[in-house]
Amino acid sequence: MDEIFKQQVYEVARLIPKGRVSTYGAIAKAVGYPNHSRHVGKAMGGCPKDVPAHRVISSSGVLSVPEFQPKLEKEGIVVENLRIKKFKKLFWDPLAEL
């Protein structure tokens, strides 16, 4: 995977505010690769500790990594059955908000 792509993904993910979530697809679009959400997921799998990977979820509002639930709940996000409650309200779209 291209190192520049990964760094761009990490930069966008670092901008997700506490208490909000974004999606793999939204981040892929923001870095100019709209059909590469799986690549974003792969990049997030080995991201640096300062990247809030727990705030990046699937487009359906479901956690891909169940271990991230406590981190999200600590930020005030309600998760039921691995699904973010009020997902549309909490969704942070980098293209709209940057």
Domains of the chain by start residue, with CATH? 3-90 (1.10.10.10)
Rounded percentage of the chain residues whose pLDDT exceeds 90: 95
Please provide the average confidence, as pLDDT, over all residues in the chain: 96
Name the β-bridge partners of 80. Answer: 83
Instruction: Answer for the pair 27, 44: CB distance below 8 angstroms, yes or no.
Output: no
Query: What integer is the mean pLDDT of 42-56?
Result: 96
Beta strand 83-84 with 79-80 is antiparallel
> For residue 88, is pLDDT > 80?
yes
Report which secondary-structure segment, H or E, holds 80. Answer: strand 79-80
Nearest-angstrom CA–CA distance, 58 and 23: 5
Nearest-angstrom CA–CA distance, 16 and 55: 7
Query: What integer is the mean pLDDT of 48-64?
Result: 96
Rounded percentage of the chain residues whose pLDDT exceeds 70: 100
pLDDT computed for residue 98 by the predictor: 75
> For residue 97, is pLDDT > 90?
no
